[in-house]
C-alpha cells in the first residue's frame, strides 16, 4: 500500500464525471488499498478516486458511530456506486472536504439513502445508509459526478478550529 497525493480544487479531475470501472484487476485492488490508507492518514471518513487523480468510479468510506466507541468503524468499498433512493426528509449539516482544505459549508442532504454498486471484486452490493453515513455517501458519489460540496452549500466559511471527519 502507498499513500497517494490528494488533489485539491481547482484540479480539473475533480470536475470530470468519473468513468465506470469495467476491469476488476490487481491495479484496481492496489488503487482501493492505497485509497483506504490515504483516507485514514489524511484523516478523513471518505475518499473518491478523483481525489487521488484517478477518474474512475471508486469510493471508500469508513465511519463509526461516535456514541458507541466499543464498535469499530465500518469500512465500505464501493465500485460504480449509484444512489438509487433518496429519503425525502433532508437536513442541513456542516461538511468539509480533503480536496478543499481550509473551508467548510452547510449542505442540505437526504437523511437516508440506498446506494447500489459493486464490491472490490465486482459482486453486487447495496448499502442502506442513514444520518451521517448517508451524508458521507452522498458527498463521495457527488465527487464521481464532478460535484463538490461547495456547489451544494448554502454557505461556505473558513473554520476557526480544525475540522475532523472530512470526506
The DSSP secondary structure of 74-101, one letter per residue, reads: EEEEEEEEEEEEE-S-EEEEEEE-TTST
pLDDT at 166 exceeding the cut of 90: no
What pLDDT is stored for residue 52 in this prediction?
Answer: 98
Query: Which residues are within 8 A (CB) of 45 and not within 5 positions of it... i.e. 6 or more apart?
Result: 39, 61, 62, 63, 136, 165, 166, 167
What pLDDT is stored for residue 6 in this prediction?
Answer: 98
Mean pLDDT across the chain: 94
pLDDT at 153 exceeding the cut of 90: yes
When pLDDT is averaged across residues 141-154 and rounded to a whole number, the result is: 98
When pLDDT is averaged across residues 28-53 and rounded to a whole number, the result is: 98
pLDDT at 165 exceeding the cut of 60: no
> Grid coordinates in use for 93?
449539516
What is residue 7's DSSP assignment? P
Is 62 noted as a catalytic residue in this protein?
A: no
Q: Which CATH class is domain 12-157?
A: alpha beta
pLDDT at 70 exceeding the cut of 80: no
- Answer whether 149's CB lies under 8 Å from 105's CB: yes
When pLDDT is averaged across residues 15-20 and rounded to a whole number, the result is: 98
pLDDT tens digits along 54-64: 999 999 999 98
pLDDT at 40 exceeding the cut of 80: yes
Q: 90-96 and 124-130: which strand pairing?
A: unpaired
Q: Give me the catalytic one of 140, 145, 160, 164.
A: 140
Amino acid at each position: 500500500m502507498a499513500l497517494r497525493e490528494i488533489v485539491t480544487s481547482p484540479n480539473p479531475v475533480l470536475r470530470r464525471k468519473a468513468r465506470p470501472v469495467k476491469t476488476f484487476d490487481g491495479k484496481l485492488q492496489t488503487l482501493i488499498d492505497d485509497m483506504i490508507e490515504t483516507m485514514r492518514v489524511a484523516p478523513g471518513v471518505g475518499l473518491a478516486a478523483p481525489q487521488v487523480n484517478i477518474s474512475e468510479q471508486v469510493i471508500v468510506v469508513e465511519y463509526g458511530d461516535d456514541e458507541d466507541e466499543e464498535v469499530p468503524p465500518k469500512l465500505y468499498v464501493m465500485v460504480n456506486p449509484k444512489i438509487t433512493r433518496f429519503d425525502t426528509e433532508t437536513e442541513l449539516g456542516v461538511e468539509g472536504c480533503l480536496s478543499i482544505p481550509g473551508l467548510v459549508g452547510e449542505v442540505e442532504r437526504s437523511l437516508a439513502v440506498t446506494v447500489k454498486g459493486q464490491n472490490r471484486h465486482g459482486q453486487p452490493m447495496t448499502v442502506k445508509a442513514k444520518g451521517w453515513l448517508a451524508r458521507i455517501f452522498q458527498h463521495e458519489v457527488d465527487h464521481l459526478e464532478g460535484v463538490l460540496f461547495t456547489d451544494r452549500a448554502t454557505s461556505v466559511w473558513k473554520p476557526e478550529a480544525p475540522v475532523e471527519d472530512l470526506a
